[in-house]
Amino acid sequence: MLDLTKSAPLVNRRGDWAIERRITLSRNLAVTLTIGPHGAVAEWDPDFPHSLSPTELRRYRTGRDRLVRQVAAHMGGRAIIGELGPDGVINCKVVEPQP
């Protein structure tokens, strides 16, 4: 069972608790990632970008990985992140829980 009572940025979405993180990628771009019982959602502000600069991509991955580590800690195990590469291949990595 997912225990969301541990210290984490919790939000109530449609009556269910979820973990959420807003990541500022640049002066004009941010993304809010939410992971909860119904899956994962990315909300881009202002809009979904066609591409990210190397700095924006690094910030996105760092924030995403931190959020997934928190979820893994709540679940009591590891998590896997899959990312579609420019070559169309899904690259996966195992993420250890945040202590």
**Does residue 5 fall inside a structural domain?**
no
Domain that holds residue 77: 10-95
Is residue 57 assigned to a domain? yes
Give domain status of residue 47, yes or no: yes
- In a domain, residue 32? The reply is yes
| Higher pLDDT among residues 29 and 35, named by residue | 29
Asked whether residue 70 is domain-assigned, the answer is yes
- What is the value of pTM for the model shown? 0.79
Cα–Cα distance, 16 to 84 (Å, whole number): 29
Q: How many domains does the chain have?
A: 1
* Better pLDDT: 68 or 98: 68
Q: Map residue 27 onto helix, strand or coil.
A: coil
Alpha-carbon span 90 to 27, nearest angstrom: 29
pLDDT tens digits for range 31-49: 999 888 878 889 999 999 9
Asked, for residue 65, whether it belongs to a domain, the answer is: yes
What is residue 72's predicted lDDT score, i.e. its pLDDT? Answer: 86
Which bin fits 74, alpha (ψ -120 to 50), beta or left (φ > 0)? alpha
Q: What is the pLDDT of residue 1?
A: 37
